Amino acid sequence: MFHKEGFKIILVTLIVFILINFAATYGIPQNWLRYLIFGISAIFLILILQFFRNPKRIAEINTNHVVAPVDGKVVVIEEVFEKEYFNDKRLQVSIFMSPVNVHVTRYPVGGKVVYSKYHPGKYLVAWHPKSSEENERTTVVVNSPVYGDVLHRQIAGALARRIVNYAKVNDTAVQGSDSGFIKFGSRVDVYLPIGTKINVKLNQKVKGAETIIAASSPIA
């Protein structure tokens, strides 16, 4: 299954793949060159298909849990001052996505969307310390019955050039359902109340909607 955000790019890539290899088949006499063109174009097509894949994830909805919003690797777990919405200290958990990860963004908690804003910006590498404040990004806050307001922020990376955000104020957010999509390499930050029990470690690989990154009670 592929994400709807990739349909147009996949179609264009497929057409280009067919045209290039048709031209190579009938216009290039050297077999080795035709095979090389086919191999390179096939790899590119596979990478595009892999990037826009959208595996079905059925989150076990639990108001005591905060699930990973994306697939990737945990690169930050620290107490920070969040100045866009909270204007106080929060516990930040950041997940970096490489181009080969699934790039669907999912709601880490369920509740009511109380804030959703897009910010144009730079395209620093996603792990840069200032990327959370200076890169193109969207900020979404969901009011959870257990955690109160939980913020997750999509951040564009050096390759990302389009962030898609579906969240609108007053929407009902369903934990694990689609919140947005980021095209080509990026990161997502989650801001939780100070004292929240974090259930992941630095450099741990996580899966969106499946890995529990925080819990308000012991996990069975």
Token pair of 208 as six digits: 């969106």
- Cβ proximity of 113 and 169 under 8 Å: yes
Amino acid at 29: P
Token pair of 149 as six digits: 């307001």
Name the E strands within the chain.
65-67, 72-82, 88-97, 104-106, 111-119, 137-144, 148-156, 162-165, 172-173, 178-183, 186-192, 197-198, 205-206, 212-215
Q: Does the active-site annotation cover 186?
A: yes
- b/e per residue, 121-139, with b = 16+ CB within 10 A? eebbebebeebbeebbbbb
- Catalytic residue, from 41, 94, 131, 186: name it: 186
Positions marked catalytic: 186
